[in-house]
Amino acid sequence: MGHMIDIQLLRSSPEEVIAALSRRGVDRAEVEALIESDALVRALSGQVDLLRAEVNTLSRRNASARRGGDSALADRLGAQSREVGEGLKALERDAEAARTAFRDLWLRLPNIPADGAPDGATSDQNVVVRSHPEELPAYGSHQRVPHWEIGAELGILDMERGAKLSGSMFPMYRGMGARLLRSLGAFALDRHSELYEEIHPPTMVRTETMISTGHLPKFADEAYHIERDDLWAIPTAEVPLTSMARDEILEEEDLPLRLTAQTACFRREAGAAGRDTRGLLRVHEFDKVELFAYTTEAQAAGELDQMVARASSLLESLCLPYRVLDLCAGDLGNSARRTFDLEVYSPGCDRWLEVSSVSWCGDYQARRAGIRYRPSGGGKPVVAHTLNGSALAWARIWAALVETNRLEDGSVLLPECLGPYLGGSLLISAPQDRRR
């Protein structure tokens, strides 16, 4: 069952689609409403075609009566034609309204979960695939300090001034804190550069660009909308990267086509009132390096594994304990068929923090965006598959790094892999050292 939501699949195998979507908590009635809406659109379209044909016939007979000099008949036919024409206009309005209603239902319906995605309704039922290392190391009391305290003490994170400028949950990094953030992005982009084309996309996008990934219409409340220009601040680089090939036909020889970008990401976190709002656990703006690929269906599984391996490899280089979760059907994002989340352990907050989400979206996004490829063996263009993953999202990585690498004297010694990006100094000194 490769296509979501392929309307042909819905028409030919409605029960299969209903059963698959019930795994992610979609009510049967929601799918049935789409099926009924589709039937109504087709019925009204058929009626519109019949009335159009009738209007054409009457117009031809009218013209012929005029040519034959039978003005009485021509007048009667003209009146009849106008009457049918009025009915046609009303029916066309109904058909257009039905198409709009259908499109709205269709755009809100999520993707079909992959057969391999575990069953389950909530995040508690996600499956831990592996942990690295298998046991968490022992942490000293100096590492059990939350990053917002360390950041304030070292003068590298200034949540108060961030809030003064923009409101709460907009962080401001300073000095070595800002440099650490910049280093992380450069480090990751360099690691991906041999396989992925680096892109620096716009961070404001059109409504159509947000619809293509499935972020609209369903998640409008989570996004920042600039009404005056009808532009949206991107929640992730996945949004512009997916639409780069919108309404285009790619060549199969060029697939997989891999792209990477570091951007700011903007999220309202509307449901987060009062939860996890300290420090960098949940913020409205954060930097993230995204991996993205257009593939054929056959290439998708290998690409998914490769993206998870890349995110894992970065975490191992950064010496951060992490675990990989296989998301259950009920916890999948709207567009995903299968998702693996990577979480790092934060000793100062004593919890696991999601820092990467790697998803295979099947042809769900590409179908919305009109992205196809021409098979190398010839034949009709085929809808592509899309995959995306963070490698990595930096706010929580920053938090885990300063907690994990805090020394007993309060300074922070960063991992070796960042040396080339930090101007040679891995030590973020405690204030008393800075005064010396």
Q: What is the CATH number of the domain that holds 94?
A: 1.10.287.40
Answer yes or no: do 100 and 160 share one domain. Answer: no
CA angle 224, 391, 165 (to 5 degrees): 35
Is 117 among the domain residues? no
Answer yes or no: do 38 and 90 share one domain. Answer: yes
d(CA 312, CA 44): 53
Answer yes or no: do 262 and 408 share one domain. Answer: yes
Answer yes or no: do 103 and 127 share one domain. Answer: no
- Identify the residue whose tokens are 């049935």: 32
Q: How many CB atoms lie within 10 A of CB 16?
A: 13
d(CA 416, CA 436): 25
d(CA 354, CA 390): 10
Give the CA-trace dihedral at 290, 296, 302, 306, to 10 degrees: -20
Answer yes or no: do 373 and 250 share one domain. Answer: yes
Answer yes or no: do 269 and 368 share one domain. Answer: yes
Is 113 among the domain residues? no
Spatial CB neighbours of 375, under 8 Å, sequence gap ≥ 6: 252, 381, 382
Is 34 among the domain residues? yes
Structure tokens at 96: 């257009």
Answer yes or no: do 56 and 141 share one domain. Answer: no
Answer yes or no: do 263 and 195 share one domain. Answer: yes
Is 251 among the domain residues? yes
Half-sphere exposure of 304 toward its Cβ, with a 13 Å CA cutoff? 22
CA angle 185, 364, 332 (to 5 degrees): 65
Q: What crossing angle do the helices spanning 394-404 and 176-192 adopt, rounded to 10°? A: 120
Answer yes or no: do 284 and 333 share one domain. Answer: yes
Is 73 among the domain residues? yes
Is 390 among the domain residues? yes
Is 45 among the domain residues? yes
Answer yes or no: do 99 and 191 share one domain. Answer: no
Q: What crossing angle do the helices spanning 147-154 and 394-404 adopt, rounded to 10°? A: 80
One digit per residue, pLDDT tens: the chain, 436 residues? 333 478 889 999 999 999 999 999 999 999 999 999 999 999 999 999 999 999 999 989 999 998 999 989 988 998 999 999 999 999 999 999 999 999 999 999 999 999 999 999 999 999 999 999 999 999 999 999 999 999 999 999 999 999 999 999 999 999 999 999 999 999 999 999 999 999 999 999 999 999 999 999 989 999 999 999 999 999 999 999 999 999 999 999 999 999 999 999 999 987 666 667 789 999 999 999 999 999 999 999 999 999 999 999 999 999 999 999 999 999 999 999 999 999 999 999 999 999 999 999 999 999 999 999 999 999 999 999 999 999 999 999 999 999 999 999 999 999 999 999 999 899 999 765 444 3
Q: Which of 85, 95, 100, 4 is nearest to 51 (CA)?
A: 85
For residue 269, the model assigns a pLDDT of: 86
d(CA 122, CA 301): 24
The helix (run of H) or strand (run of E) holding residue 198 is strand 197-199
For residue 273, the model assigns a pLDDT of: 63
Domain count, the chain: 2
CA angle 202, 205, 209 (to 5 degrees): 120
d(CA 325, CA 306): 15
d(CA 430, CA 412): 8
Answer yes or no: do 369 and 400 share one domain. Answer: yes
SS3 225: strand
The amino acid occupying position 302 is G
d(CA 86, CA 78): 12
Tell me the CATH number at 240: 3.30.930.10
The domain containing residue 75 runs over which residues?
A: 7-108
d(CA 80, CA 70): 16
d(CA 124, CA 327): 10
Spatial CB neighbours of 132, under 8 Å, sequence gap ≥ 6: 312, 315, 316, 321, 322, 323
Is 411 among the domain residues? yes
